[in-house]
Amino acid sequence: MKNSYEYPLDYEWKRDEMVNVVNLWRLVELAYETGVDREEFLAQYALFKKVIPSKGEEKRWGNKFEDISGYSLYRVVKAAKEGTNKTIKM
């Protein structure tokens, strides 16, 4: 992980949409750093998908986040959807 970076956001989103996206970015970080509850992650991902419903846009934002943080949204989502463990740890 890089020491300091800003989460990728679209400043045209409403405040609650930004909160949902930031919360997901934080859970992705936690999945890599300490582990995150799978159900909590999937619930937050569902809120994220209300802000960014398109797969193409999700990929674009996920790539932006990975470029600046080194953490992959795609890999965490895949682990959450395919796994059965209570905790996701990348």
Q: Please state whether the predicted TM-score (pTM) of the whole model is above 0.85.
A: yes
Answer with the residue of higher pLDDT: 2 or 11: 11
Q: pLDDT band for position 6 (50/70/90)?
A: confident
Beta-carbon contacts of 65 under 8 Å, excluding residues fewer than 6 positions away, are 7, 8, 25, 28, 71, 73
What pLDDT sits at residue 74? 97
- Residues 33-68 have pLDDT tens digits of 999 999 999 999 999 999 999 999 999 999 999 999
Residue 71 pLDDT grade (very low, low, confident, very high; cuts 50, 70, 90): very high
Q: 3 pLDDT exceeds 70?
A: no
